[in-house]
Amino acid sequence: MAKAVMFQGTASDSGKSWLAAAVCRYLVDQGLKVAPFKAQNMALNSFITDKGDEMGRAQVYQAEAARVKPDVLMNPVLLKPSTDKDSQVIVLGKVLADMDSVSYYNYKQKLAPKVLAAYKKLADQNDVVILEGAGSPAEINLNEHDIVNMGMARMADVPVILVADIDKGGVFASIYGTIKLMPPEDQKRIKGIIINKFRGDKKLLEPGNKMIEELTGVPVIGVLPMTDIDIDEEDSVVLSRKNKQVDQSKALDVAVVDLNRISNFTDFHSLEIEPDVSVRYVHEPSELGQPDIVILPGSKNTNEDLVALKKNGFDSQILNAHRKGSRVVGICGGYQILGQRLADPDAIESSIKEQRGLGLLDTETVFNPVKTTTQSIAKHGHFDLKGYEIHMGTTKLGPNARPFATIISTNGKEEQRLDGAMNTDGTVLGTYLHGVFDNEHWTRHFLNEVRVAKGLAPLVNTKVSLSDYKNHQYDRLAQMFKENVDLKKFNAILAGEDK
């Protein structure tokens, strides 16, 4: 059985996900075979494995950090909220059902054996498993049926390191409160504390660290600095920190519409690292302006997001921007919104039976109960485009639309089918391919078309490899971990020497 350690946080967005990624890269660089694990994820950013299974993005980038292929065993339960009360429940990569929060709370204990079996299989295949919790283990109203925080730590019998975000304020109160709200047997599992996102001289923390150690009996084993390390994010809460303003030093202004149920905003990470592109996320119509490119991203509830766009006047702002020269791109749900009509006769996604889209593409979408989850390769001109599909709609093209691409491979098997649509002059395009901008050759070709239309010369020799960029960030994470954590204490916790 593999060695293991679990990172839990005093709150969401404490940094436990990327700290787990840091440890994955640190340990794999020691010659160990490492796998990440999170029993239950709640996120709209998901990924499709090469087997067609759906899983959370955090375990995908942790797997990348560990230099292994993402596997649904790393995230056996994924919850994708579709409304404020309901979520799609995905178990081992496949849709189980839609449940409201009360129904899922009462049901999830039935998932514990599957979660434990997935963990044990990973532990049998690896030297080390790095586990991650969700939210906070001090959510005492949810602890009875917990399968992701201390409930998982007990099932796997692993030590826990508590991660606290000092940037939020009240770090010592959050550490003390989190630990002391736990039952005594769970408190004993916490073997170390890491304080994250610190600014300034660490010596100023030493009195507080000493006092919290005396109060809890748990050592502070590391203080990590605030950093500009750039890796994929999973929770849409980070969009509040994303850029809202145009970077005037960049030639191209790209505005991503921050939908209420935005999904897979990681699709645009590759654009953010392009040298001539300013990417901003806009939530209000007044923020849109006249960008070079407007992007409508994926959505977990396309119909409801379209209603919201119309209600706040975003639809007219997008149409006006296109009339004045903005290119418009839709990915998955965003692609569906760009069409003439959306129909949901069986209430698959929402109670809205039918509504008009923005009308920028001559397409019609009908929602159906079969969920497409594939890794796909498509042909667009002379470009091979790799991506993945996650959607529950079928879109048909009218006479004034042409396909964006032809799918030639699905989950490793040859196939021939059309994907996406473009308008007659090529200024609007939609596709079901998530990750389309990760194809750097096509992306540069597309961006250069926009540059030329704007009267700028195309950029050459600017190929940006997202894979190389990510690996550099994972290396930086591992180095930061090594420089700011007591490795002797960490290794002792991992080895189970601190009982």
* Closest C-alpha to 470, from 293, 280, 261, 233: 233
| Model pLDDT, residue 235 | 61
C-beta separation of 90 from 42 below 8 A: no
The structure tokens listed for 256 are 């991503």
Q: What is the pLDDT of residue 239?
A: 60
Exposure string for 283-295, b = 16+ CB within 10 A, e = fewer:
bebebbeebbbbb
Instruction: Name the one residue in this structure whose structure tokens are 């300034």.
Output: 200
* The pLDDT of residue 364: 97
Distance CA 467, CA 125 (A): 25
Can you tell me the distance from the alpha carbon of 293 to that of 113, in angstroms, rounded to the nearest whole number?
A: 47
Pairing verdict, β 46-48 and 54-56 = antiparallel
Q: What is the pLDDT along the chain (499 residues), one digit of tens a residue?
A: 799 999 999 998 899 999 999 999 999 999 999 999 999 999 888 999 999 999 999 999 999 999 999 999 999 999 998 888 889 999 999 999 999 989 999 999 999 999 999 999 999 999 999 999 998 998 888 888 899 999 999 999 999 999 999 998 899 999 999 999 999 999 999 999 999 999 988 998 999 999 999 999 999 999 999 998 888 776 655 665 566 688 899 999 999 999 999 988 899 999 999 999 999 999 999 999 999 999 999 998 999 999 999 999 999 999 999 999 999 999 999 999 999 999 999 888 888 999 999 999 999 999 988 889 999 999 999 999 999 999 988 999 999 999 999 999 988 889 999 999 999 999 999 999 999 999 999 999 999 999 999 999 999 877 678 889 999 999 999 999 999 999 999 999 999 887 5
- The catalytic residues are 332, 434
Cβ count within 10 A of residue 226: 11
Chain-centre distance for alpha carbon 145: 25
Q: Considering Cα of 372, then 373, then 379, then 381, what sign does the dihedral take?
A: positive
The residues, any chain, with a CB within 8 Å of residue 400's CB and separated by 6 or more, are: 362, 423, 424
For the chain, the maximum distance between any two Cα atoms, rounded to a whole number of angstroms, is: 73
pLDDT at 237: 58
State the Cα–Cα distance between residues 47 and 266, nearest whole angstrom.
10
The Cα 452–Cα 54 span in angstroms is: 38
CA distance 3 to 18: 20
Residue 207 CA neighbour count, 13 Å, CB half: 1
Give CA–CA dist 260/82, Å, rounded. Answer: 10
Q: How far is CA 64 from CA 72, 100, 161, 321, 429, in A?
A: 14, 33, 22, 38, 30
**Delimiting residues of CATH 3.40.50.300 domain(s) in the chain:** 3-231+471-495
pLDDT at 236: 56
What CATH code is assigned to 3-231+471-495? Answer: 3.40.50.300
Handedness of CA 391, 393, 396, 397 (dihedral sign): negative
Q: Architecture of domain 252-455 in CATH?
A: 3-Layer(aba) Sandwich (3.40)
3-state secondary structure the chain: CCEEEEEEECCCCCCHHHHHHHHHHHHHCCCCCEEEECCEEECCCEEECCCCCEEEHHHHHHHHHCCCCCCHHHCCEEEEECCCCEEEEEECCEEEEEEEHHHHHHHHHHHHHHHHHHHHHHHHHCCEEEEECCCCCCCCCCHHHCCCCHHHHHHHCCCEEEEEEHHHCCHHHHHHHHHHCCCHHHHCCEEEEEEEEECCCHHHHHHHHHHHHHHHCCCEEEEEECCCCCCCCCCHHHHHCCCCCCCCCCCEEEEEECCCCEECHHHHHHHHCCCCEEEEEECCHHHCCCCCEEEECEECCHHHHHHHHHHCCHHHHHHHHHHCCCEEEEECHHHHHCCCEEECCCCCCCCCCEEECCCCCCEEEEEEEEEEEEEEEEEECCEEEEEEEEEEEEEEECCCCECCEEEEEECCEEEEEEECEECCCCCEEEECCECHHHCHHHHHHHHHHHHHHCCCCCCCCCCCCHHHHHHHHHHHHHHHHHHHECHHHHHHHHHCCCC
Estimate to the nearest angstrom the gap between the alpha carbon of 247 and the chain centroid: 24
